[in-house]
Amino acid sequence: MVNSYLDIGVQSRMNRIISPKDNRVVMLAIDHPYFQGPTTGLRNMSVTIKTLLPYCDCLMTTRGAVRANIAPEDVGSKPIMLRVSGGNSVLFEELSDEKLTVTIRDAIRMDAAGVAVSVFIGSANQQQTILNLTDMINSAEEYGIPVLAVTAVGKNMARDLRYLALASRICQDAGARIVKTYYCEEFSKLVDWVAPTAVVVAGGKYSSPPDAMKMAYDSIQAGAAGVDFGRNIFQDKNPVGMIKAIGSIVHGNHTVKEAMDIYNSCLPGATKLD
């Protein structure tokens, strides 16, 4: 609900990201090369985007990927959640050493609907990454741009309710409008504890279509606004079937079985992305 004139810009962009029709979103995460370089399924990113863009509600990606890989005719067709933190690579074990990498001015130039910052709670760089988030919120909110916080927890911390809720709640308190986190047992508690901030669920490593669909289903049932899946979609042998199936769970409240039927109907002729 819009509660002040100052929130009109934020609400407008939030409505582009999370449909006000059902308060749900299928965000497609294709930001992985920002720290891991050529990634299976994203090596030819223009093909990946062309193939999957019609079926997602929002594309989470990086400045360079937007500039280099979105076909001119597709620019503006889907809102962009622009990753604006980074500065590390898989060559270093400690991935939490991130800083802000994109100015709010450039995010506005690119017509970003929102900007995303990673926060690593319990890591060596906890304070730095929380301050990355708050610095970006301070800049972005001035221009009516919502900030999504990508939560990560320290290497030795379990991805369970205790730590994921800790990370998510810290991000909400910092002022994030959307929190991205991992699914865990008792996930509905996490959603309740950060309400009314929208929660989207990361997919994690490629698993299998039924497992990824079950995670999406359980997340939605627990009250998540949607998913921000990457590898479980673009690394599947049937990426279009996968994103359509996930969409049916998120927007149509389909069961895993119903979603698998959609997936299987797209299998003939499906092509794996490079």
**33/144 with CB nearer ligand R5P:** 33
For residue 148, the minimal CB distance to ligand R5P (Å) is 9
Q: How far is the CB of 252 from ligand R5P (least distance, A)?
A: 21
Q: What are phi and psi of 270, to 5 degrees?
A: -65, 145
Q: Per rule CB under 6 A, is residue 203 in the interface with ligand R5P?
A: yes
Count CA within 13 A, CB hemisphere, residue 136. Answer: 34
Among 228, 239, 250, 259, indicate the residue that binds ligand R5P (CB under 6 A). Answer: 228
With beta carbons less than 8 A apart as the criterion, state whether 114 and 178 touch: yes
Question: Are residues 48 and 41 in contact, defined by beta-carbon separation less than 8 angstroms?
Answer: yes
| DSSP track, the chain | ---SGGGHHHHHHHHHHSBTTTTBEEEEE--THHHH-S-TTTTTHHHHHHHHGGG-SEEEE-HHHHHHHS-GGGTTSS-EEEE-EE---TTSS-TT--EE-S-HHHHHHTT-SEEEEEEEETSTTHHHHHHHHHHHHHHHHHTT--EEEEEEE-TTS-SSHHHHHHHHHHHHHHT-SEEEE---TTHHHHHHHHTTSEEEEE--S---HHHHHHHHHHHHHTT--EEEE-HHHHTSSSHHHHHHHHHHHHHH---HHHHHHHHHHT-TT-----
The nearer residue to ligand R5P, 7 or 97, going by C-beta atoms, is 97
Closest approach of ligand R5P to the CB of residue 230, in Å: 3
Cα-only R_g, the chain: 17
Indicate the residue among 201 and 256 with the shorter CB distance to ligand R5P: 201
216 binds ligand R5P per the rule CB under 6 A: no
Catalytic residue among 155, 180, 189, 244: 180
CB of 73 to ligand R5P, least distance (A): 25
Q: Taking the complex as a whole, how short is the minimal distance between the CB of residue 221 and ligand R5P, in angstroms? A: 19
**Cα-Cα end-to-end distance for the chain:** 42
The reply to whether 180 belongs to the active site is yes
Residues 121-160 that bind ligand R5P (CB under 6 A): 150
Q: Is 57 in the site for ligand R5P (CB under 6 A)?
A: no
174 binds ligand R5P (CB under 6 A): no
Of 41-49, 71-79, 99-107, 226-234, the segment contacting ligand R5P by CB under 6 A is 226-234
Q: Which stretch binds ligand R5P (CB under 6 A): 70-78, 140-148, 223-231, 245-253?
A: 223-231
Minimum distance between the CB of residue 201 and ligand R5P, rounded to whole angstroms? 9
Q: Which stretch binds ligand R5P (CB under 6 A): 1-9, 18-26, 29-37, 42-50?
A: 29-37
What is the footprint of ligand R5P within residues 71-110 (CB under 6 A)? none
Q: Which is nearer to ligand R5P, 10 or 30 (CB)?
A: 30
Q: Rule CB under 6 A: which residues touch ligand R5P?
A: 29, 31-32, 60, 118, 150, 202-204, 228-232
